[in-house]
């Protein structure tokens, strides 16, 4: 059923497609080059408009906030230091945070007011003490966002909203940087209870399970405290050593002392300093600095250099202690945080085993042993697909053809839910010296490439006859028409165009690799013609098309198969195909079905996420 405006959008795109085709014949003058670029840009924009109209533009939605309550929330933040936050103020904080994140996340995990006790100690008025406050909120996205097939960098960037005074971070982002010892996140996890404006049961569980001294004893945390303290206010002298930046403000200098205080507190078995100073726990150098900082606020003529000398002295002493420190085992922290993230994400649900193995269990085990490498570490139910790729899959192999496997697998749901680092989603073994080559892709990466229209991945879905097919993969094949799209056609055309470019460069002239370029062109054009008709192409070619391509592969390149004849034939067929595409009265969906791919990936992760 055609949606309102879809026919107009189609007509607009097709008109621009024809103009784009016409512009290919323009000479490359400066004016025409600019015109071609504008046409390409306009065509991309019109494709995007059509995708929006037809509903194929759905994609990952980054974390966002409602701006309406932010002004009041900021005013409230700047009115309080942790010790002044009453139960009534906490309720107000949570109400405003909840309004800002309504329908934007699945759960608010925690809200913490972060302040600098060193700066607060230099100020008398509470409003001044709270001047540099920051509110950090930890949230959890719903399953569709967390398991999204979107690019990992896109997801990571979309898991943070940073306004300076307000930072909202997704659970994975928080866990990832907590185990790395990022100072702000360690402060957040182990803040004074007065600094908590909201604490869920899950947050309290983390604080109960995680040892503060273990986390502050991580080498990255200790290094960050000392490194950031100096890096924020100091710069190198030309003749060696460090000097205070002329632009360093009182607040920045206080922040530097706060960071050193964190490192110092670890050695005294104290948590990070987040609510008021404890002078009795400070070394003499730090106490001297504190008095000078208080004086600096009242008298700008107080020497910052004397304060900086105290900073350097404390820093050097802490660096010396670090050399004799036995740092915490990061793996232990990763394990605790990982278990906590998984339990928080599941919210009481139980992970059920995903059965990916069909009747070909023994055949699958045989294939896994044959391919070898990291594949042998997978359990059979983690394997979704094993395919013979390349010329074998096209029905164009010869006795000399390489054996090339493509494997699609799934990481266990436990490992995905508890991961605090970016996973490795691809491993390959390829090269001219390899008798057997393979590439293995995790399900999320496969989905990302599928949504981008990767020709290699599309061909896996279009082709039904593989070495091993799990029931889950069969669902993709049964819906292969959902991946016959304009994006797919553009990717096929792009591959063909690249092959033409290589042929015209003469770099591979009269070599076996040039033969491959030619046969790929004819194979991809045959596939594109099927897509033009709205059909999933038969990747394995038959009949006259196969006979011709096999001639190109195996026979002597002369006469009708000479390089010049093949190039002329390929160019003519390519031009005809481009004209057919530009002169259509219809268009396929611009992009694959994002919702379908996401639902499939959720099914791969487990039925409790469906």
Q: Are strands 436-442 and 426-429 parallel, antiparallel or unpaired?
A: antiparallel
Confidence of residue 302 (pLDDT cuts 50, 70, 90): confident
Please tell me the predicted confidence (pLDDT) of residue 5: 81
Looking at residues 258-269, what average pLDDT do you find? Answer: 95
Which of these, 225, 223, 209, lies nearest to 337 by C-alpha position? 209
Confidence check: pLDDT of 325 > 80: yes
For residue 201, pLDDT over 70 is answered with yes
Q: Bigger pLDDT: 209 or 374?
A: 209
- Considering the chain, what percentage of its residues have pLDDT values greater than 70? 98
Q: How confident is the model at residue 353, as a pLDDT?
A: 64
**pLDDT reading at 1 higher than 80:** no
pLDDT over 60 at 356, yes or no: no
Q: What is the mean pLDDT of residues 149-158?
A: 95
Read off the pLDDT of residues 471-525 as tens digits, 9 standing for 90 and up: 999 999 999 999 999 999 999 999 999 999 999 999 989 888 999 999 999 999 9
- pLDDT value at residue 355: 59
Pairing type for strands 242-244 and 383-388 reads unpaired
- Residue in 8, 166, 173, 149 with CA at minimum distance from that of residue 476: 149
Segment 456-474, tens digit of pLDDT: 999 999 998 899 999 999 9
Q: How many CB atoms lie within 10 A of CB 580?
A: 12
pLDDT value for 206 = 98
Residue 584: band (very low, low, confident or very high) from pLDDT cuts 50, 70, 90: very high
pTM equals 0.91
For residue 333, pLDDT over 80 is answered with: yes
CA pseudo-torsion sign 297, 167, 210, 332: negative
User: What three-state secondary structure class fits 302?
Assistant: coil
By C-alpha distance, which of 477, 350, 324 is closest to 417? 350
For residues 143 and 451, what is the distance between their CA atoms, to the nearest angstrom?
Answer: 19
Distance CA 382, CA 44 (A): 38
- The end-to-end CA distance of the chain, in Å, is 27
pLDDT in tens, 116-135: 999 999 999 999 999 999 99
pLDDT digits (tens, 9 = 90+) for 504-514: 999 989 888 99
What pLDDT score does 17 carry?
96
Q: What is the pLDDT of residue 360?
A: 59
State the pLDDT at residue 143. 95
Check residue 594 and report its DSSP letter: H
Beta bridge partners, 405, equal 388, 438
**pLDDT value of position 436:** 86
How high is the mean pLDDT of the chain? 93
Q: Which residues pair with 407 in a beta bridge?
A: 386, 440
pLDDT > 60? residue 359: no
**Lowest-confidence region among 213-217, 273-277, 440-444:** 273-277
pLDDT band at 238 (very low <50, low <70, confident <90, very high): confident
**C-alpha span between 228 and 380 (Å, rounded):** 47
Q: Which residues pair with 403 in a beta bridge?
A: 436
Give me the pLDDT at residue 93, please.
98
């Amino acid at each position: 059923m055609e949606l309102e405006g879809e026919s107009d959008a189609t007509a607009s795109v097709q008109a621009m497609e024809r103009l784009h085709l016409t512009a290919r014949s323009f000479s490359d003058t400066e004016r025409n080059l600019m015109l071609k670029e504008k046409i390409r840009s306009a065509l991309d924009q019109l494709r995007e408009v059509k995708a929006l109209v037809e509903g194929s533009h759905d994609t990952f939605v980054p974390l966002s906030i409602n701006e309406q309550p932010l002004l009041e929330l900021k005013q409230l933040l700047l009115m309080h230091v942790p010790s002044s936050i009453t139960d009534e103020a906490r309720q107000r904080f949570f109400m405003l945070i909840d309004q800002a994140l309504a329908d934007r996340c699945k759960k608010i995990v925690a809200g913490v007011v972060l302040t600098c006790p060193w700066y607060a100690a230099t100020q008398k008025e509470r409003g001044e003490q709270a001047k540099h406050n920051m509110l950090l909120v930890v949230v959890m996205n719903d399953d569709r966002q967390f398991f999204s097939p979107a690019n990992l960098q896109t997801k990571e960037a979309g898991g943070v909203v940073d306004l300076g005074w307000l930072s909202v971070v997704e659970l994975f982002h928080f866990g990832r940087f907590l185990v790395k010892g990022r100072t702000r996140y360690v402060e957040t996890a182990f803040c004074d209870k007065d600094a908590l404006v909201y604490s869920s049961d899950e947050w309290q569980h983390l604080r109960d399970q995680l040892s503060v001294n273990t986390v502050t004893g991580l080498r990255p945390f200790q290094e960050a405290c000392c490194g950031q303290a100096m890096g924020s206010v100091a710069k190198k002298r030309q003749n060696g050593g460090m000097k205070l930046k002329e632009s360093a403000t009182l607040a920045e200098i206080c922040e530097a002392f706060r960071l050193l205080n964190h490192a110092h507190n670890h050695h005294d078995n104290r948590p990070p300093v987040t609510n008021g100073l404890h002078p009795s726990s400070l070394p003499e150098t730090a106490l001297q600095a504190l008095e000078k900082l208080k004086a600096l606020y009242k008298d700008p003529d107080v020497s910052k250099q004397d304060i900086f000398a105290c900073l350097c002295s404390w820093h050097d002493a802490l660096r010396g202690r670090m050399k004799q420190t036995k740092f915490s085992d990061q793996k232990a922290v990763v394990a605790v945080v990982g278990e906590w993230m998984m339990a928080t994400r599941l919210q009481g649900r139980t992970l059920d085993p995903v059965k990916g193995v069909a009747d070909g269990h023994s055949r699958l085990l045989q294939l896994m042993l044959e391919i070898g490498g990291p594949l042998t570490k997978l359990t059979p139910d983690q394997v979704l697909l094993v395919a013979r790729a390349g010329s074998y899959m096209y029905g164009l192999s010869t006795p000399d053809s390489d054996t090339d496997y493509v494997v699609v697998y799934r990481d266990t749901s436990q490992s995905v839910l508890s991961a605090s680092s970016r996973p490795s989603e691809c491993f390959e073994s390829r090269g001219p010296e390899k008798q057997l080559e393979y590439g293995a892709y995790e399900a999320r990466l496969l989905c990302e490439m599928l949504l981008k229209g990767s020709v290699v991945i599309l061909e896996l879905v279009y082709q039904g006859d593989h070495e091993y097919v799990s029931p889950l993969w069969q669902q993709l094949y049964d819906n292969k028409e959902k991946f016959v799209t304009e994006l797919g056609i553009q990717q096929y055309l792009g591959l063909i165009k690249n092959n033409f470019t290589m042929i015209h460069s003469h770099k591979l002239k009269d070599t076996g690799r040039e033969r491959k370029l030619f046969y790929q062109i004819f194979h991809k054009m045959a596939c594109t013609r099927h897509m033009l008709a709205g059909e999933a192409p038969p990747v394995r070619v038959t009949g006259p098309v196969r006979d011709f391509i096999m001639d190109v592969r195996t026979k002597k390149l002369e006469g009708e198969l000479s390089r010049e004849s093949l190039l002329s034939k390929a160019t003519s067929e390519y031009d005809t195909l481009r004209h057919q595409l530009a002169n259509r009265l219809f268009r396929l969906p611009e992009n694959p079905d994002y919702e379908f791919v996401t639902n499939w990936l959720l099914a791969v992760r487990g039925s409790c996420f469906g």
